[in-house]
Chain A
Amino acid sequence: MPTSVTINGTAHSVDLPGDVPLLWVLRDEIGLTGTKYGCGVAACGACTVHIDGVAVRSCQMALEDVDGAVTTIEGLGTPDAMSALQAAWAEHQVAQCGYCQSGQIMQAASLLSDIPAPTDSDIDEAMQGNLCRCGTYPRIRAAIHAAAAKMQEV
């Protein structure tokens, strides 16, 4: 029986076994490739998406367990209309290879909705599950602080 999921505001009907992780539903079925596969075991954060605004590792979330609205990096903002967080990322020239960055941004967005003005240790705490093999951490930290400041202004 097809499962229905709402992704970035659009309802999709997916005909797949219920144990298929959301990550692969997004990438291989729906064609939303912004969410990345890095490890498949909850150790890198590349696959991070939001379910009802909360960051989850989509490689660990079985299709049948998805119980809320899914937001992916494509739903956060677009090249023509970036979210404040994405704009801060671009401003600080964070990405190197860029492969981990969708997950980093989704994790950071979830952090900022919990803690609008995070300290360095809040950032350490929230972001330590997201691996970046290129080592972009200092700029990620700077972009989060900058986005937080910007979002406080408005």
Chain B
Amino acid sequence: MANVRKIARRSFLIGSAAIVGGVAFGAYYVARPAPNPLTPGEGEAVFNPFVAISAEKITLIAPRAEMGQGVHTTWAALIAEELDVTLDQVEVIHGPAAAAYYNTAMMGEVIPSKGYDKSDFMHAISDHLGALGKVMDMQVTGGSTSMKDGYMRMRAAGASARETLKQAAANRLGLSRDQLSTKDGQVIAPGDVAIPFTDLAGEAADLSPVEAPLRPRSEWKLLGKGQPRIDMTGKVTGTATFSIDTRLPGMKFAALKANPSLGGEMRSYDATEALSMPGVEQVVDLGNGFAVVASNTWLAIQAAEVVQADWGAAPVPATHDGIRSAIRAAFDTAPNSTLRDDGDTATLPQGAQEVTAEYEVPFLAHATMEPLNATALFDNDRLQIWSGNQGPILTRNHCAEALGIEPEQVEVITTLMGGGFGRRGEMDFSVYAARLAQAMPGTPVQLTWSREEDMTHDFYRPGAMARMRGAVREGTALMVDAEIASQSALSQAMTRWMGFTPSGPDTAIVDGVFNQPYAIPNFRTRGYVADLQVPVGFWRSVGASFNGFFMESFMDEMAHAAGADPLEFRLSLARKEWEPAAKVLETVKEMSGWTGQTPEGTGRGVAMTYSFGTPVAQVIEVADEDGMIQVTKAWIAADLGVALDPQNLEAQLSGGMAFGLSAAMFGEITFAEGAAEQTNFPDYDGIRMHTMPKVEVRVIEAQEHIGGAGEPGTPPAAPALANAIYDLTGNRPRRLPLMKDFDLQS
């Protein structure tokens, strides 16, 4: 294993070379099945890492982060569909951190193909590369990959468990397996004999698993229909336990305070006054910050404010303009990624009109509704950590390393998450809690970040700039030459997570431009990496979160320059490239009754972005209400390939759009002396009840492959809104957030 990792470190390239590297070093190791992490109890049958049945109950393991996207429900439905149980008959748990739960889809996503045009051969390579996830400790929830990953595997896990149960029943009854059927958690034998699965657990435990083919879609009972979410009752009665709700006997409450100048050290601190405050028990040095331990969280937060610390400087330009200059300077360096270079972008096509525009978007915080926190207990050289995290194996390994113990001495209990959006894929909040617990052995402690601490110590969505050049003639686009500059969130995150920096092009910087399904004959995309140390990371939809705005605002500018209707302009280019992209545009056209005309006082904008395997089109309508711009309506169409749970997909797409609108309208983080200047919701607001448009969603199933759901709703939101504002006001938004240049209802 160590050896494989060493090879991985050397040869892992983000890009095409990874395919070669993957095949060369991966084959012998990745093909070995990972051990089943579930240990059966007395009389319990553990069929595979995802299904366990005892005399009392049926347990399904959904080892992905439940952060609001409903993954536990849909994951369980995949298993239940083949196992023949209903969702109210089972208990669904997240389960432990284990190699068996690696994400088979995630690494496959790094292939720098456009995605929608992947051949079956490319899909096969992605699948192969996906196995690298095991080597890389990728039990990760992110990249909208859960359903791509689980779709085949979980149904197979359910089918195999079902057939094994039937075999146990067949043995008991002296019948053959094909004389039996299953229904609602029971094996049914001729003569109205019904044996509950739970009754067969003991006998099934001794059998080796039976393989079974998957049922055709026409026989599905659960999939394809809206399922009541298994976490819903808990979440409407206040009984769902988020990480911050962990309560252990004798537990102490602590508050974190780290150097606000990000990346700077803590030289010293004086806690004398804090220690004299009521309820305060101790102050613990955590390296670049400290934790105040008290009898409740509020007392700890108050005391943390009065500790006098001597903070070192941040390794970034002192002013925000200095940071912006550093991003702009990247344009003068060699491009890191030129992932599309079709035709000739050097010469303006004969008789064409040139269109140019520059755009800029800010840094953004994740601002998950539940502030970061984790609870830990260190006892007898063992660590237990309760943490709402998107990567339990990495969390386990990072905690072990920080404490100087072995990964086997760490137990990670992954809780429900009050939002993730990419932030909970990081390990920092778990590691701080682990180190605090080590300083107070035998006492469980919950370490909470105040909202201010959370917002000012993020791994931000990087600020980004674009320089776009295009050409139009006869109502259509002949050329797009896009240049995008930002920090590389991918290389920063890989360095933090894996301890090495991948070489090769960073697809994320140009994702949402280079892979857009438009038949533009001369099309080049270059990405430039800004040399900056602002902590950046993955934020819902990653690079597409800014490139969706750049590309689709520019498409609008080109359409207007060409004298074409913005929707028809896109539609004709999409039709020639990839039918599903055209289909989502046609669908929003129909849903919104798009005519290209809007009455006085109303504006409409359209945008379409293909990301994470899913094309999503949105039309957004705005209205002038007493001089203020109100977002009134939104129509969304998305092609998921297979819509496993339409009701939940509607929520994800609508929520993803809301997340994009929040940022587009109000979101901006600026830095002074390397410290974030926005600290809480009053200066980093989101969309709210009165500013949220009415939304209509339609999910279609035209494409062949299953698409992601959590992220693709976000990228088209900003450009669709910006284009609507242009339609209303005649002023073209070229920077975000929009509140800086327009009077938005807030």
Contact = CB atoms under 8 A, between A and B. Distances in A.
Contact of B232 (A74, A90, A137): A90
Nearest to B452: A40
A36 B370 contact: yes
B493 interface: no
B417 interface: yes
B226 interface: yes
A128 B690 CA distance: 6
Interface in B217-266: 226, 228-229, 231-242, 244-245, 247, 253
A141 B419 CA distance: 21
A135 B369 contact: no
A85 to B, nearest CB: 9
Contacts, number: 198
B681 A96 contact: no
A31 B241 CA distance: 12
B602 interface: no
Nearest to B277: A17
B253 A28 contact: yes
A97 B658 CA distance: 14
Contacts of B416: 97-98
Interface of A is mostly: loop
B68 interface: yes
Given A28-B297, A133-B686, A99 B418 contact: yes
Given A93-B229, A96-B651, A137 B688 contact: yes
Contact of A74 (B237, B297, B658, B687): B237
A33 B686 CA distance: 25
Interface string A108-140: 000000000000000111011011111111111
Interface residues of B, number: 69
Interface in A43-101: 43-44, 46, 72-74, 76-79, 82, 86, 89-90, 93-101
A29 to B, nearest CB: 6
B419 A134 contact: yes
Nearest to A29: B296
A74 B670 CA distance: 40
Interface string B380-422: 0000000000000000000000000000000000001111110
A27 B236 contact: no
A151 interface: no
Contacts of A90: 228, 232-233, 236
A128 B235 CA distance: 20
Nearest to B651: A96
B681 A39 contact: yes
Interface string A11-51: 00000110011011001110111111111110110100000
Nearest to A143: B236
B641 interface: no
Contact of A98 (B231, B451, B654, B688): B231
B692 A138 contact: yes
Nearest to B241: A33
Interface of B: 67-70, 226, 228-229, 231-242, 244-245, 247, 253, 278-279, 295-299, 301, 367-371, 416-421, 448, 450-451, 647-648, 651-652, 654-659, 661-662, 680-682, 685-690, 692, 694-695
15 contacts: A20-B296, A23-B298, A46-B369, A74-B238, A86-B237, A90-B233, A96-B70, A97-B417, A99-B368, A127-B689, A128-B688, A130-B688, A131-B369, A137-B689, A140-B689
Given A33-B241, A82-B236, A134-B655, 10 more contacts: A20-B299, A28-B253, A33-B245, A35-B238, A38-B681, A73-B238, A90-B236, A97-B419, A98-B236, A127-B690
Interface of A: 16-17, 20-21, 23-24, 27-29, 31-41, 43-44, 46, 72-74, 76-79, 82, 86, 89-90, 93-102, 105, 123-125, 127-128, 130-141
